[in-house]
Amino acid sequence: MNILDKIVADKRIEVDLKKGLIPLKQLEASVLFDRKSTSMSKSIKSGSGIIAEHKRRSPSKSVINQKVSVQEVAAGYENAGVSAMSVLTDGKHFGGSLDDLLLARASVKMPLLRKEFIIDEYQILEAKAHGADAILLIAAVLSKNEIKSLSETAKSIGLDVLLEVHNEEELHKSIMPSLDMLGVNNRNLKTFEVSLETSKKLSTIIPNDFVKVSESGISNIEAIKELKPYGYEGFLIGENFMKTDNPGKSASEFIKSLK
């Protein structure tokens, strides 16, 4: 069983337990459910393209940063000029929570991505009820029909959809009009190795109708310069900012040197 299979097995148990505690109607009654979302894909196209992540720990790196508060990180990222913030909400493997999403929402106006291992419509309604503007779907853990129905649910409540792939096969089964952004994850989830070559290789077969996002292992400006000619407009960066004492300052210096 690879790490993704393990995370998803844990997630199925978690979602079933939560469904028994908080009914869908309660999520739909949340004040934030009626909030008008801000488009993450549009924000990427009109801004720096940097999607900065709140990431306390990870299966590949263990602890990254347990000291800074999510509010501080969110405000710092927004001041830095990022296009969107990704908030990891998985608790067991990444140390995140839905409270992190809620606190980020309370602190900033920019688009927020719920970074989660989504396998059920319930988690999409949770995302909306906690202030997300966009969700992530991971092709490696979903069938074509699941991608279709989950992305259509997200679109029906005004959320943008970022679909993540790791290879050509996942990409071919995933292309459909209910997606806004196609993300290529540079991290091999079996070995944890990262290579920008994955983004470069898959770029030619991503139709131009989608905003292209390169995810993981981006640690310097040179990587952005290398990826832009391949059509990438969005760049998801976690550890590089979060490993510092001041992730917002680190994002700010990064974005300044892009100009």
Write the CB contacts of 210 (distance below 8 Å, at least 6 apart in sequence): 175, 179, 180, 181, 182
Taking CB positions, which residue lies at the least distance from ligand LARABZUK? Answer: 238
Beta bridge partners of 213: 183, 234
Residue 164 among the catalytic residues:
yes
The pattern of x and - marking residues 77 through 116 that bind ligand LARABZUK according to CB under 6 A reads ----------------------------------------
Write the CB contacts of 203 (distance below 8 Å, at least 6 apart in sequence): 184, 212, 230, 231, 232
Provide the minimum distance between the beta carbon of 242 and ligand LARABZUK in the complex, in angstroms, as a whole number. 7
The pattern of x and - marking residues 3 through 32 that bind ligand LARABZUK according to CB under 6 A reads xx----------------------------
Nearer to ligand LARABZUK, 27 or 254 (CB): 254
| 10 alpha carbon, distance to own chain's centre | 19
> Could you give the angle at the alpha carbon of 251 between the alpha carbons of 113 and 86, nearest 5°?
10
What does residue 184 show for φ and ψ, rounded to 5 degrees?
Answer: -105, 120
Nearer to ligand LARABZUK, 164 or 180 (CB): 164
User: How many residues of this chain interact with ligand LARABZUK, rule: CB under 6 A?
Assistant: 18
Asked whether position 185 contacts ligand LARABZUK by CB under 6 A, the answer is: yes
The pattern of x and - marking residues 27 through 66 that bind ligand LARABZUK according to CB under 6 A reads --------------------------x-x--xxx------
Say if CB 115 and CB 52 are below 8 A apart. Answer: no
One of 116, 126, 164, 239 is an active-site residue; which one?
A: 164
Provide the minimum distance between the beta carbon of 154 and ligand LARABZUK in the complex, in angstroms, as a whole number. 18
- Residues with a catalytic annotation lie at 53, 55, 115, 164, 185, 215-216
